[in-house]
Structure 1
């Protein structure tokens, strides 16, 4: 039986990207439970790169990933507007203060500038924060890029390989899949997204309370048609966002509904909520709801990603809790994760990142403080 240096569990964007980064340095196995990689969160992304998305703690990962994404042609600049009414001025001020000094490019706009960008906007939306660097991201292209890099680097990619048992043994792990296959690896990389805590439990590792949440999306046909150059439009209070896509409009109620790991499906009430909120923003008529879907996003308790070896099990590496920002931060996150897993020094992409901010050690420290 082959002994792999690393077995990466989960072949979505997280698993594919870290496997690709590990490949030049190690023998890597990439296990995917579904028939094809990227079925869940990766395949259902809203597909944008936004400097402020995820909060100040995520900005360094997003900015570090930008050059790689642009260089390889995965970004198309669109811009973003965080809209507000008169009652939202304090929220606007808080947003500007929160991201001041992070390196994100943001500016405040008035009504005249807004309506040039969002025709048909209702009169009570009078202020906005503009993010000129926000871009569409080619999610499928990026995912295939990393899978291709991984395969060319010698990574063995195995689908229909849902992990059923993880057994610690001398020198590493014995991995058994639900289909009856067995593999051995010196170290595990937990890139299982919504299933990350479940994989930890199978390995006898203390879960980190990484919780999945459902996000709802709908594709609308609107009249007049959505302008192709419409920016990503978000509510400053986080109750909706929408963006154009191929002559249609993608709309979300910006929901985060606790869910169990699984094949997420939209609830009709959430679609109705999204439409109601949209109709309060523009005068466009909704001609049809053409598609609806939902995906899972997974967060650690502090909403920052988790990258690093477990404090109690030094052959178990966390690469999870990447919320809805795992795609836009994939290049820097994967590079940092591989460097930590391999014991390599930082490079130009990761030198500005603080690994301690994302380490699982922070949860052990919090537990000690609570018990003191």
Structure 2
């Protein structure tokens, strides 16, 4: 079959750009999303901390996050349930560690004010001497957000195919010819291919002969746990400034995470033996939270670029192949802005002035002169 735009990967990146492209074009017809797994969002996009933090990341990520949060808050106002809602983020520890972990301008609290906000830290005043609070942070429901993009895309006429891994690519005139590992085997032809393959994006890029972007998957382990005494739902997410483990309230009790960044090959990552037990021991030692059981544990892969800024733009060598990857730990919190930027670049060849020139340039693939070049 032949389509105008093929998107490889149906995580938050692939689905959000599919729905955004459909909105910009006025139709989703001619857009095909190819997902290797049996369902969408089965890897990192289903293993999110679900906290969007405007003070987390380098400056281009902060700009993308601010725009994305505003977009999700606006879009959610017309839905039965919001896509995002206010939920403060607290980084607690020594003054030196907190300063190293945060950007200037956040609200600073200590002593009684900190322990009133986070009473579980009260018994460890030497470790948690001060904190920075990002009151502009929001919580999201990752499953609902993925479903929203999927439903928007499908309603507009986008086709989403699962169990459709791209195994081979060749150039056929002005089109890319993608061979799918499907039953029966099929070939898809497209003038434009968006590489939104997450941890596998550099491997997919290699099939096209694209410039490698140095994408490195990094492990991050988390769990949902039950608590002897539940935290109130409005309790902030708390990050330990010294060691970067963190937790937040959840309907199950709490979501807890090691906060590690261990390099990995692209894979369906699973927690190392003893990792969650060690994290539970740390949290119970350093706070008054008492964990009564593990509901679910997982490890996601946060795939980062060396610059720690996502890549969003045309490959400088593989004509018609577009990068949308390297979101790292900022995937959900930058998804709306990256989807809009990608849609504008794919359809118009440039990003509007809603995004600063510095951020536009930071998003450009390695080897690209700028983001004003249209696809060849």
- Normalising by structure 1, we get a TM-score of 0.90
2:49 paired residue number: 46
Which of 287, 296, 302 does residue 291 from structure 1 map onto? 296
* Conservation of the 8 A alpha-carbon contact between 2:69 and 2:138: no
Q: Does 1:130 align with 2:140?
A: no
Q: Does 1:251 align with 2:256?
A: yes
Counting only pairs closer than 5 Å after superposition, residues 265-280 of structure 1 correspond to structure 2 as: 265-280=270-285
Q: Does 1:192 align with 2:197?
A: yes
Q: Does 1:261 align with 2:266?
A: yes
1:7 paired residue number: 6
Structure 2: distance between partners of 1:8 and 1:238: 38
Q: Counterpart of 2:120 in 1: which secondary structure?
A: coil
* Conservation of the 8 A alpha-carbon contact between 2:208 and 2:318: no
Deviations 1:192-220 (A, max 9, x none): 00000110111122321111111101122
* Conservation of the 8 A alpha-carbon contact between 1:107 and 1:130: yes
Structure 2: distance between partners of 1:143 and 1:359: 25
Structure 2: distance between partners of 1:303 and 1:226: 33
| Change in CA separation of 1:55 and 1:111 when aligned onto 2, cut-off 3 Å | farther
Q: Counterpart of 2:6 in 1: which secondary structure?
A: strand
* Conservation of the 8 A alpha-carbon contact between 2:209 and 2:317: no
Aligned residues: CA RMSD: 1.9
2:111 paired residue number: 111
Counting only pairs closer than 5 Å after superposition, residues 299-314 of structure 1 correspond to structure 2 as: 299-314=304-319
Structure 2: distance between partners of 1:344 and 1:201: 23
Deviations 1:142-188 (A, max 9, x none): 11111112112221111110111111120110111112111100011
Query: Which runs of no fewer than 5 residues in structure 2 stay unpaired?
Result: 77-81, 370-376
* Conservation of the 8 A alpha-carbon contact between 1:164 and 1:177: yes
1:36 paired residue number: 39
1:235 paired residue number: 240
* Conservation of the 8 A alpha-carbon contact between 1:60 and 1:353: no
Q: Counterpart of 1:255 in 2: which secondary structure?
A: coil
2:120 paired residue number: 120
1:329 paired residue number: 334
The CA deviation at 1:136 is 1.2
1:226 paired residue number: 231
Count of residues in Structure 1 that have an aligned counterpart in Structure 2: 354
The CA deviation at 1:334 is 0.2
- Greater shift, 322-331 or 281-290, is seen at 281-290
The list of structure 1 runs, each at least 4 consecutive aligned residues, that deviate by more than 6 angstroms after superposition, is none
* Conservation of the 8 A alpha-carbon contact between 1:253 and 1:273: no
* Conservation of the 8 A alpha-carbon contact between 1:335 and 1:350: no
* Conservation of the 8 A alpha-carbon contact between 1:217 and 1:252: yes
Query: Which runs of no fewer than 5 residues in structure 1 stay unpaired?
Result: 366-372
The CA deviation at 1:349 is 5.0
Counting only pairs closer than 5 Å after superposition, residues 90-169 of structure 1 correspond to structure 2 as: 90-95=96-101, 99-100=103-104, 106-121=106-121, 122-124=124-126, 125-169=128-172
The CA deviation at 1:294 is 1.1
Structure 2: distance between partners of 1:205 and 1:345: 20
Structure 2: distance between partners of 1:186 and 1:277: 52
